[in-house]
Structures are given as structure tokens and as C-alpha cells.
Structure 1
């Protein structure tokens, strides 16, 4: 008599992962925490520059040639710069927790892991770019790249958060192709506004250190180019509201309304800071606003498609009932 064939026992790592399942609710909270943490590191990084602490730690990866940490002789600027470096580890820990949670989540959703890993590896990449900003004595072009890289990491973290909320199904367009093209055009316009905004910052007074050079662009001219881009972006965003309303895409319409509101608030801060000679507090608020505009734009882009659960397949064909013979 043959013995029944037993299926091979799962590997030890798989057994360990199976013992600590992570719910979808916890996974969403961790992904949201990752978004908040990455926005926070942008704001604190801006505080480093706005307090002229960009070279508080004059080298990288050490804080000084002899120490990895700030010393009392370095004063408040060293403490601010070193504190921002420490926050990078906190953001990385949250990203690592998200990756682990994705691995522990059941049922396994393969589309989540690449996004979680992208966010995790984006953080050390950010740290390396930050190191180049220090080694280049706060070159304004490298500083701008540092900010834009943060925007990419935030976008990946947002995509992960939304992907967790959506069912595991193919994305289906909910608006016509011309409106999806208009949404993409608006997204590109928002990206262009962010890029030109870094040029404006690189031409202004907040260099991060008194000895740091500027990018050589005329501040008034490049600020006008940035303002023109903002006007174009707001115009396109308003057009999205009416276009989505015309086709009955209510969710997309609401997302576009939020986008316009955030853009108007960001534009107001921008104009006030320009005419008040760029006070540090408003410049910091403007950096936070840039992150919010990005998130609002991504929300609009995401709302043009939906992931709908696939219909359940029939388990078995039900035989047709035989007709009941008529009685005389």
C-alpha cells in the first residue's frame, strides 16, 4: 500500500511571516505615515536652509572630519543640520516597516512590494544627494535636485498608499481619453512649476549658508516665469473641474476642486512672500505647500481610473430544471 504523498513543508521564513499577518488597515496606516514622514523631511530640510545651517555639518557622511555627530563647538547650526540627518533614519525606519508589513500582509498582493521597495531605497538615495549638496558647498542646482528627488519619493509613497486602498484588479478608465490627456497635461504643468520653483529658490537670498553661491538667474525674471506657470496650472485645473462635471465624474471633480483650492492657497503664499522680501517662515510654508500641490495633483490623476473587483466565477453550471408536465 502506497503512503500518501505529503506536500513539502513551507520554508522557515515563510512560516515566520505566516505567524504575524498584517491587516490591510494597519498597512494603510503605515503607508500614510510614510507619506507624512517624507513630507516632514522636506519641511525640516527647508528649515536647515532657511536658518543658514546647510553647512552646519561641513562634510558627509561624517558631521566633521573627526566626528559623525555634531559637537558643542559647532553651535546651533550644527545641531540643526545633524538633527535633520537623524530624521532621515526615522523616515527610513518607517519605510522599512512598510516593506515588512507588505510581506506580512495576507492575501499577498504582488503589486505592492515594488512600490514599497522603491520608497525604501529612495531614502538612502536622497541621503546621497544630500551629501553631494554639502560636498558641493550647497550648489543651488544640486539643492534643487535634492528637493525634486524628495517629490519623487513622496509620489511613490502616495502611489503605494492608494494601491493598498484599491482592490487588486485591473485599472479601468472612468473618464474619456481626451480628459485623461488633459489630466496628464495638467500633471506635467505641475511638475514644470515645481522645477522652475527650484530655480527661483536658487536665485534668491536663502542659500543655506552665507558663503553659498547662487545660480546666476535674475530673481525677478525667473519669478515671473514661475508665476506664469502657476497661472497656467490653475487654468488647466479649473478646466478639469468643468470637464469632469460635464461627463459626470463626480469623484474626479471633487479631487480637482481640492487641487484648485490648494493651488490658490499656495499661490497666495507665493505672492505674499515675494512682496514681503521672502521671510523665512513663508518660504517654509511655501515648501510645505509644494508637497500638498503634488499630493492633490496625484489624487486627481488617480481619480481618472478605478480598480473594480472582478466578478466571481461560477462554481459549477446549474442544470436547467425540467419542465413540469401539465395535468389534465
Structure 2
């Protein structure tokens, strides 16, 4: 009897060990993934970096004269979705830029999946991640129109500005992963809110006029590409005026936000980026636009925009809702 009782107990124990996990629970790795807000935060940050990298590779396409390295869209050539040796290095550069869109799509897709899998599912993060995906689709369409119109300077500008919108959306996505979903609460007074908004508007104006400067000068992306027809010196002066306005508002923000350490740090870092960007801009202008400095200036515009957006998000907060 004792032996039989022990065997029965062992069998019962084995049956218990082999029982499936409780309903509603999956494998351990899936459960870890469903409770991984830090992963969502890193993927959201990856969308910001990815969009800035896309800007850098896009300007490499333009500065190398590879804008029509893939002369059609959505295919690279009439007969192939990939580049062919016929178009040489220009085809590889343009097709490589197109491939990076798929890499960015993979990051955004992973972010959407991670957001949807979270136990604490947040509607705001779902919409912001989906907004990134919609922006990538819009970017691809505008890029296709740019190629099909032979690098029209206005569609080239639109292509760049869509990236700026994606950087804004990416920053909003990343910032919201670090705060709650409660009602928005302002950290500063109404006049300081408008000052922060003015800084962002001035930054946006500077970037928009900068695209007009680009569309009026050299480095069009191909040898036979039309220009806007504006006087490059005149639009460059307008761009400089917008820069002075931005710097003036930023200095005003540094003085006015001294009682708000988080916002003060953000606006001070923006000022540092503006100074670096200004130096690059003036040097490239007086050295007749060497491609390396032009590339750094475009990259600096994307980074400056991200820091300007940061100022806007540091003046408010959302508490965690139980």
C-alpha cells in the first residue's frame, strides 16, 4: 500500500507539472514582451533616429547627383524593382536610400506590435505609432512624385518637409511613452507657452525657407533639373532673417524660463544647436556650398527641429492615471 500510494502521488505530481498554463497567459517570452514599456520607449526613440538618418541619406542622394539613379517609381527602372549596373553608382545610392525606408518601416512596425501587445495598452501610443506608419506611406508617395516629376524643386521640398513632420510625430511618440495619460497640465504661464510656440514656429519657418534656398541653388540632384527661379542671394537673406528671429526668441526663452529648470535646459540646448548650425551655414555660404558642409547643414536642420520640438514638450506634462 505505501508503495502504491507513493506511485499514485508521483503520477498526480507529474500530471500537475504537465498541465497547461492558466488561461490568458502565454509563453514566458510573450509575457515579458507584454510588460515591456522600456522596449516601447526604445522603439519610439528609434523612429526619431531613423527619420533623421533618412534625411541624411536623402541629402546624400541629392549632393551626389543620384536623384534619378532610379528614374521611375515604384520600380527602380521600367523592368526592375532593384537598381541595375546601367545606372552605375548613382543607381546604388538612390536604391540604397529607398531600402532605408523599409528599415524604418520595420522599426515602426515593431513599435506598433509592441504597443498593441502591452498589458497596459494605451490608446495615445497606438495612434502615435500608427501616425508614424501613415507618415512613411505619405513619404514614399511624395518621394515617388518627386522622381516622376524629374526632381521638381517644390516636390523635393515637400519630400524633406514630410520628414520634419515625421520627426515631430516621432518625438511626440517617444515623449508620451515617458508620461501618463492624464489631462495636460502646463508647467509655465500663458505668455511663456506662447513664447515656446513662437520658437517652434520660427524654427519651422526657418526650415521651410531653407528648402526654398535649396531649390534655388546648385546641388539639384541631377544635371538637368529645373530650379525655382528665385534669386539665391535674396532667399538666402530671407533665410538668415528667419534664423535671427529664431535665435532672438531662443535667447528670450533662456531669460524667461530661468525658474523652470527642465524647459530652461531644453531651450539652452536648442541655442547651442542653433549656434553650431549658424556657423556651418555661414561657412558653407562663403565657401560656395561644398557638398560636405551642405550635407552637415541639412543634417543640422533635422537635429535643430527635434530640439525645437523638445522645448514645446517640456512646458507641459501629463500625470499617470491609475
Q: Take 1:56 and 1:139, find their aligned partners in 2: how far apart are those partners?
A: 15
Tell me the residue number matched to 2:95: 82
Q: Take 2:195 and 2:47, find their aligned partners in 1: how far apart are those partners?
A: 29
Deviations 1:189-246 (A, max 9, x none): 111101000000001101000001111010001000000100110000010011011x
Tell me the residue number matched to 2:15: none
Q: Take 2:279 and 2:88, find their aligned partners in 1: how far apart are those partners?
A: 35
Report deviation, 1:168: 2.7
Q: Take 1:281 and 1:22, find their aligned partners in 2: how far apart are those partners?
A: 44
- Normalised to the residue count of structure 1, the TM-score between the two structures is 0.88
1:229–1:65 CA distance, 2 compared to 1 (3 A): same
The correspondence of residues 7-18 of structure 1 with structure 2, limited to 5 A, is none
SS at the partner of 1:165? Answer: coil
Tell me the residue number matched to 1:106: 119
Are 2:242 and 1:226 aligned?
A: no
Which structure has greater helix proportion? 2
Tell me the residue number matched to 1:300: 311
Are 2:166 and 1:156 aligned?
A: no
Verify the 8 A CA contact 1:17 1:103 in the aligned structure 2: no
Q: Take 1:283 and 1:29, find their aligned partners in 2: how far apart are those partners?
A: 30
Are 2:320 and 1:309 aligned?
A: yes
* Aligned partner of 2:269 among 236, 258, 263: 258
SS at the partner of 2:185? Answer: strand
* Aligned partner of 1:211 among 203, 209, 224: 224
Tell me the residue number matched to 2:282: 271
Over 6 Å off, 4+ runs: 16-19
The correspondence of residues 41-52 of structure 1 with structure 2, limited to 5 A, is 41-52=54-65
Are 2:281 and 1:281 aligned?
A: no
Q: Take 1:292 and 1:226, find their aligned partners in 2: how far apart are those partners?
A: 17
1:278–1:174 CA distance, 2 compared to 1 (3 A): same
Report deviation, 1:90: 0.6
Tell me the residue number matched to 2:75: 62
Are 2:164 and 1:127 aligned?
A: no
Gap regions ≥5 residues in structure 2: 1-22
Q: Take 1:98 and 1:178, find their aligned partners in 2: how far apart are those partners?
A: 36
Gap regions ≥5 residues in structure 1: 1-8, 313-328
Verify the 8 A CA contact 1:22 1:101 in the aligned structure 2: no
Alignment coverage as a number of residue pairs: 298
Are 2:221 and 1:201 aligned?
A: no
Q: Take 1:158 and 1:275, find their aligned partners in 2: how far apart are those partners?
A: 34
Report deviation, 1:20: 4.3
How large is the Cα RMSD of the aligned pairs?
1.7
Deviates more, 1:17-26 or 1:213-222: 17-26
Are 2:33 and 1:28 aligned?
A: no
- Normalised to the residue count of structure 2, the TM-score between the two structures is 0.89
Tell me the residue number matched to 2:150: 137
1:111–1:272 CA distance, 2 compared to 1 (3 A): same
Report deviation, 1:167: 2.3
Verify the 8 A CA contact 1:59 1:65 in the aligned structure 2: yes
1:97–1:22 CA distance, 2 compared to 1 (3 A): farther
